[in-house]
Amino acid sequence: VTVAKDNVKASRLDARSLWATGVHWMDHSDFEQGVLRDLQAAEGCLDRAAPLEIRIRDKREDVTKAKQALTMVERKRELANAEEDLKAKKDLAKAEKDLAEVEKDFTKEMQDFSQHCADALGDLNRVAGKDTADLSKSARAWE
């Protein structure tokens, strides 16, 4: 998530330098707002994904602890009663379910992030293509 956030920030700088170096054929504010909106939406996805990433780690630790508890119960099966065994299995099932839910939320946020980045890239590619076409027309006009 941190690396992805750094990449989004770099994309913002790249877009600003493109505007600063001569995209003269269009209204900068409309283009800038569109790309910045996409990049801000992508950053929002990452902001929401970061705590989910931490929760995934925590839930994985919960799963590990539950598995360890289950292993201890199974080793002491002769001494433990059936209630402890059942409780350990329920705890493990709950921990695994919680992990799956958090991983699902994280995956959704990362899919949204990818879509916003693709939208911003599409805008940049469209602008770059138009800029090239405008330069070609200008060159022919000077001839």
Contact 38, 116 (CB under 8 A): yes
The answer to whether position 6 is within a domain reads: no
Q: Hey, how many other C-beta atoms are within 10 angstroms of the C-beta on 80?
A: 14
Domain count of the fold of the chain? 1
The answer to whether position 59 is within a domain reads: yes
* pLDDT tens-place string over residues 103-137: 999 999 999 988 988 888 887 777 777 666 665 66
The answer to whether position 123 is within a domain reads: yes
The answer to whether position 39 is within a domain reads: no
If you average pLDDT over every residue of the chain, what do you get?
Answer: 77
The answer to whether position 87 is within a domain reads: yes
At 25 the pLDDT is 46
The answer to whether position 53 is within a domain reads: yes
**Most confidently modeled of 5-9, 47-51, 87-91?**
87-91
Domain hosting 57: range is 44-128
**AA letter at 103:** E
The answer to whether position 38 is within a domain reads: no
* pLDDT tens-place string over residues 24-43: 445 556 666 777 788 788 88
| C-alpha span between 52 and 56 (Å, rounded) | 6
Position 68 pLDDT exceeds 90: yes
Tokens standing for 44? 């929002």
The answer to whether position 58 is within a domain reads: yes
